[in-house]
Amino acid sequence: MGSCLFPGRVSRPWIVDDELWALIEPLLPVWPSRRPGRKPIPDRLCRHGVLFVLHTGVGWEHLPREFGFGSGMTCWRRLERWCRAGVFDRLHHLVLARLHAAGELDWPRVCIDASHGQTHDGLEAAPDVLLCDYE
């Protein structure tokens, strides 16, 4: 059981394999050089911790330290840092571009325009706005 982008990936779903990590790592913000003190938990281990929490539903405060992911608070702060840096938006676009290049996307099924969305406060949808630009 694997994904269409990464066939054969069946290990624990919170473990990021080398192929996927090669896509993610360049998108992560660079750590500023630090003065003497403890080094931060490696980003890859924090990513494993974030995925473990998302996969299992365990609370951040209950993330098992024996797995080496760092504390739940460390993983949560790293996730927040990545969100602020736009990592997941860029990763989403990168994966879509790769799937498109591999012919794995059926664009008429995955693209919607704004006319399909709900509006609030009596505003009308803008049917000329396309929510994806890969076609």
For residue range 81-127, list pLDDT tens digits in order.
Answer: 999 999 999 999 998 899 889 988 887 776 665 555 666 665 555 55
**Token pair 């949808």 is at which residue?**
125
Which residues on neighbouring strands pair with residue 59, listed in sequence order?
Answer: none
Contact between 98 and 111 under an 8 Å Cβ cutoff? The reply is no
Nearest partner of 24 among 39, 43, 6, 41, judged by Cα: 43
Burial of 49 (0-12, 13-18, 19+ CB in 10 A): buried
More confident position, 12 or 76: 76
Q: What is the pTM of this model?
A: 0.69
Contact between 45 and 68 under an 8 Å Cβ cutoff? The reply is yes
Report the alpha-carbon angle 130-134-135, nearest 5: 85
Which residues on neighbouring strands pair with residue 130, listed in sequence order?
Answer: 113
